[in-house]
Structure 1
Amino acid sequence: MSLVSKFATVGGATLVSRVFGFVREMMMASALGVGPVADAFNLAFRFPNLFRRLFAEGAFNAAFIPLFSRALEENGEDSARRFASEVYSTLFAVLAVFTVVAWIFMPFLVQTIIAPGLAYCVDEEAGREALSCAARFDLTVTLSRIMFPYLACMSLMAMVSGILNAFRRFFAAAAAPTVLNFVLIGVIAYAIQTGYDKSATAFLMSWGVLVAGILQLLIVVVAMRMAGFSVRLGMPRWTQNLKRLLILAGPAALIGGITQINLFVGQAIASFKPGAVSILQYADRPYQLPLGMVGVAIGVVLLPELSRALKAGRLKEAQHTQNRSLEFALFLTVPAAVALFIIPEPIIRVIYERGEFDASSTPLVASVLGLYALGLPAFVIMKVFQPGYFARENTRSPMIATLISAIANILLSLALFPLMAEQGIAVATTIAGWLNAGLLFWGLYRKDLWEIDRQLMKRAALVVLCSALMGLSLVAMMWELGDWLNPADPITAQIAAIGILVVVAMGVYFALALATGAADRRLVLAVLQRRRAKR
């Protein structure tokens, strides 16, 4: 299976998950709107999500896969099984203790870390939902306690997914997150149909998150057993393999979760303004579609491929893989960023503007989405640069880059929030993303670990040119379709107009890409010939 085919497998599964995530977010906006209850749910859900990325996906995809692959390649499956069992047993014990401690100290965590703005809340700012400050705090604490075990499920799932990825079985781990969307869509539909109020709906959604976490873990465990591999739960033991994993995983956890760190910091600061957390969350969903589809696919596939090439001493293959991965990332994310920057308001209006999400919320969310879009390529190409360090078992250098960008994000968010509210947080997140990407690239380049080939430079420049021309065509089409994009028009007309914009923009971009050579014409022809042969 080629590198692009592997990207497509993981990206396709992730795309399905993100599309259903759109549906989930649309229904949530309709049920909860923008306000204190939506803020409470998003803040409570963001906390386990942050730790999932820090100590699960980021750490294990970066640290566990190279070590597991080495044990598998050098010492065979029995050695890999012993190593995986050691890690599984230790992880299970740590998560159990961590969950209990978090339950006990959740009020303190909410007041100091999750939503510090609630400590400065006054009842006059409760907003149109008339939810008192004490009620907002209690609701956030309760929802956080319900959803926190989701972290344990996702951490164990991340480890099992790492095993599947090492065996080059990518689909189950990429498809499992869709379960969360299915469960929440069902829960929200039930709550709306039965006429539950916002607080009751938030409670049901929180229990739905926990149930979905258990189901996702079961899916990847079954897939692992079908792959002929299993792990055993035993007493945790301190071993050299575990020590090496922790040395690598500590910095890798911070590095892998930089996007979530930035979002978490932004939401914590946004908790000082009622509704701002919800605005950031709703803007994040459309932005996560291309980020997830491309970034997750590259991060999942590239690391094991690079690890194998470097372990075997195939340095030219490793360089080629890195350059083609960056080329692939730019080819898809630059036009997506341009489109989201130019037409955020029609997109947000069609996705969210119904039920409790009224017309006054649309411009606020759209302005944040447009600013997030400017950082989209940065957060995806970070997924290309990071494996260049992780495959060499170097986590110190990217950790330093991540710390610098995280500090910059915090300082910029604090400085801009009083001036620009949630838009200031979006600007800070975008700048921090580009800073991190630049530092990661410079670290590889100056150590001669990344050699930029001529093909990459040429196609990157052509991608930017084609994306700019596509952007101009979007502006022109928006002018022509202005009557259809009017908020007063029927939703069907608005959807049709956006459909036309997307289809024509994609047509313009891909036609220009093929004509100029921004896309690999030989690869496209090969794919088409394979499809014809299958028919």
Structure 2
Amino acid sequence: MLRSIATVGAWTMASRVLGFLRDMLIASKLGAGPMADAFFVALKLPNLFRRLFGEGAFNAAFVPAFAQALTQRGPAAAKALAERMAMLLTLWLAILTGLGLLFMPQVMQVLAPGFRDDPGKFELAVELTRITFPYLLLICLTALVSGVLNGLGKFAAAAAAPIFFNLLSMIALFALAPFVATPAHALAWGVTLSGGVQLGLVMWACARAGMALNLFHAPTLPPEVRMVLRRMGPGLIGAGVTQVNLAVDVIIASFLPSGSVSYLYYADRVAQLPLGVIGAAVATALLPLLAKQIHAGQPLSAHRSINRAIEISIALAVPAAVALAVLALPILAALFQRGAFGAEEARLTSHALVAYSLGLPAFVLVKVFVPGFFARGDTATPVKIGICCVALNLGLNLLLMGPLQHVGVALSTVVSAWVNAGLLAWLLSRRGQLHWDHRLRRAAPRLLAAAAVMGVVLAGLSWALAPGPGLIGIALLGLVCAMGGACYFLVAQLSGGLNLRELKRSLRR
């Protein structure tokens, strides 16, 4: 499992680094004003549906079913299941895309109702979202084929595909901007084009893995397909509760002063680096592994797998959260403070980043606990918890948006994430499906202590070196982060929280 996590995490890291470069360009060209707000809403809608219908609900239901078919009935049956699901997903998403394009003004009134007070901003958001919305169909099919690759134990191509999203966005910003109305239009076209390239990449990888898929297979509804469809319904909320909460954040932020949507977007993008590298990598590797172990009648192996996933998550997510909280302003100044994105925008965005960092371990642990339900075919329980968390997030947003503005929106998401993670862990433990083994109980407090020591070191280094905007600021920030990371791993090794030799052996294997 650790090797799979490392593979996904490495490619995700490369994608996130390119994503930072893309966001740096966006910040310099669009800043944090009305045009940026409109583009980020246009990007949010297809990404929300992608994470719900593609990576979220669909993969939560499809990957365990695919793993079961592959393990018990062989590659031919697994391929047939994938092709039938691809056709059904294509039909459903084509209808959804057509309706979205037709009724986009009405959709925008729900997603960003606060934009109605600025007609120009509202019309721009509608126009940009119509350009980006076909990305939904392409990227959800990419998620299906990626699920097949993950079920086959092939993680590299699926994890590398998002790199093209960032590359084509940057290319479009330079190549198309002179020929379209605004730089935001160029970015929107780059988003949609990247969906086709990503689908082509994973299709090619799947064919190389010996399972070339026909995405236009005749739609039929055998029992295994009906089972996946039944599990998808509740999985829409269970797997995507974080995305639903972020959508609620956009709705609330649209009522706040101009720039609030952008502050939350940039802060979320920085927080998404460790979340994507750690949380997505762990969840991607854990779900097919748990499904195979459970269907093969290996409950002890499943217990060990989820304990190691929790241990890895704590070992990486907690120090990442501490670093983001301590270095929020230097990070944002070094990455984004140039062009249309000034010092005040960096300061306001840093407040949201500090808030998001407090919830980073919870976001990651949710991605660890949810596969414990999905691998056993239980998509209903995360739904019930998800509904409660969405309601909690909405209530806290309404309570905090007045006194804390956009920071209250971020804090609401954080509190609901911790409640979500706590309830998932409690239910798994109550059912006897999660036991905190001796190794995890011993390592966790030592890892927390090492992260605390690292936080003190980072604060001192940041005060002494004062990293800021520009290339020198980025270099100083890198030095501070490297020294803080070295401090963390040294303290964790000396205290017994981590065994670096064992980690090195596992990665080599």
TMscore range, shorter length: over 0.9
Structure 2 contact 86–141 (Cα < 8 Å) conserved: yes
Matches within 5 A, 1:454-473: 454-473=438-457
Q: State the match for 1:389 in structure 2.
A: 373
Q: Is residue 267 of structure 2 the alignment partner of residue 272 of structure 1?
A: no
1:227-246 matches, within 5 Å, as 227-232=209-214, 233-246=216-229
| Separation (CA, whole Å) in 2 of partners of 1:495 and 1:215 | 31
Counterpart check, 1:221 vs 2:170: no
> Aligned residue for 1:117?
114
CA offset digits 1:209-254 (Å, max 9, x no partner): 0100010011001111111113331342333222211111112222
After TM superposition, give the deviation of residue 97 of structure 1 in Å.
1.1
Counterpart in 2 of 1:497? Answer: 476
| SS in structure 1 at match of 2:343 | coil
Matching residue within 473, 484, 487 for 1:508: 487
CA contact (8 A) 1:53 1:253 kept: no
Q: 1:435 aligns to what?
A: 419
Q: 1:290 to 1:76 in 2, by over 3 A?
A: same
CA–CA separation in structure 1 for the residues paired with 2:19 and 2:239: 22
Give CA deviations for 1:395-451 in whole Å, capped at 9, x if unaligned: 111111111111111111111111111000011011011010001000101111111
The answer to whether the 8 Å contact 2:172/2:189 transfers is no
Please name the residue that 1:166 is paired with.
151
Q: Aligned to 1:445, what secondary structure does the other structure show?
A: helix
Are the structure 2 counterparts of residues 393 and 367 from structure 1 closer, same or farther at C-alpha, using a change threshold of 3 Å? Answer: same
User: Structure 1 residue aligned with 2:21, among 13, 20, 23?
Assistant: 23
- In the alignment, does 2:185 pair up with 1:203? yes
The alpha-carbon deviation at position 500 of structure 1 amounts to: 2.3
Q: What is the deviation of 1:504?
A: 1.1
Q: How far is the alpha carbon of 1:473 from its aligned partner?
A: 1.1
Which residue among 353, 360, 364 is the counterpart of 1:380? 364
Determine the structure 2 residue equivalent to 1:177.
162
Q: Structure 2: 5+ residue runs without aligned partners?
A: none
Q: How far did residue 147 of structure 1 move? A: 0.7
Which one is further off, 329-338 or 65-74?
65-74
Question: 2:395: which partner in 1?
Answer: 411
Task: Report how far residue 393 of structure 1 moved.
Answer: 0.3
Q: Say whether 1:156 aligns with 2:121.
A: no
Q: Specify the SS of the correspondent of 1:375.
A: helix
Cα distance in 1 between the residues matched to 2:255 and 2:224: 44
Q: 1:158 Cα deviation (Å)?
A: 0.7
- The reply to whether residue 52 of structure 1 matches residue 37 of structure 2 is no
User: Partners in 1 of 2:506 and 2:149 — Cα distance?
Assistant: 26
Counterpart of 1:256 (choices 220, 235, 239) is 239
For residues 369-388 of structure 1, give each alpha carbon's deviation from its aligned partner in whole angstroms, at most 9, with x where no partner exists.
01100000100011111111
Q: Give, in whole Å, the separation in 1 of the partners of 2:126 and 2:503.
A: 52
Structure 1 residue 342 displacement after superposition: 0.8
The alpha-carbon deviation at position 71 of structure 1 amounts to 1.4
Query: Is the 2:446–2:495 contact (alpha carbons within 8 Å) kept by the matching residues of 1?
Result: yes
Which whole-Å CA distance do the structure 1 matches of 2:201 and 2:409 have between them? 36
- Shift of the 456–202 alpha-carbon distance from structure 1 to 2, 3 Å rule, reads same
- Residue of structure 2 aligned with 1:102, choices 100, 103, 128: 100
Counterpart of 1:424 (choices 398, 408, 420) is: 408
Q: What TM-score does the superposition give when structure 2 sets the normalisation length?
A: 0.97
Specify the alignment match of 1:361 in structure 2: 345
Q: Are the counterparts in 1 of residues 3 and 506 from structure 2 also a CA contact under 8 Å?
A: no
Find the structure with the greater CA-based Rg. 1
Q: CA RMSD, aligned part only? A: 1.6
- TM-score, normalised to structure 1's length? 0.92
Matched-pair contact (CA < 8 Å) for 2:235–2:379? yes
Partner of 1:124: none
Instruction: Kindly state the Cα deviation for residue 160 of structure 1 after the two structures are TM-superposed.
Output: 0.5
Whether contact under 8 Å (1:24, 1:181) holds in the other structure is yes
**Preserved contact between residue 34 and residue 357 of structure 1 (Cα < 8 Å):** yes
Residue in structure 2 matched with residue 324 of structure 1 by the alignment: 308
Q: Which amino acid aligns with 1:105?
A: F
What residue ranges of structure 1 are gaps of 5+ in the alignment? 122-132
Contact conserved, 1:251 with 1:395, CA < 8 A, in 2? yes
The CA deviation at 1:358 is: 1.3
Structure 1 residue 527: Cα displacement: 5.7
Distance 1:234 1:480 in 2: 62
Counterpart amino acid of residue 208 in structure 1: G
Specify the code of the residue in structure 2 equivalent to 1:205. L
Amino acid at match of 1:225: A
Q: Percent identity?
A: 40
Tell me the distance in 2 between the aligned counterparts of 1:318 and 1:182.
Answer: 38
Correspondence 1:293-308 to 2 at 5 A:
293-308=277-292
Q: Distance in 2 between matches of 1:191 and 1:472?
A: 46
CA–CA distance in 2 between the matches of 1:109 and 1:41? 15
Partner of 1:520: 499
User: Residue by residue, what CA displacement relative to the aligned partner does 1:476-496 show, whole Å, maximum 9, x if unpaired?
Assistant: 222322xx43x5xx7344223
Q: Which amino acid aligns with 2:131?
A: I
The amino acid of 2:496's aligned partner reads G
Structure 2 residue aligned with 1:125:
none
Equivalences for residues 33-112 of structure 1 within 5 A: 33-111=31-109
Cα distance per residue 1:246-296 (max 9 Å; x no partner): 111112222222222121110111011211101100111110000000111
1:65 Cα deviation after fit: 0.8
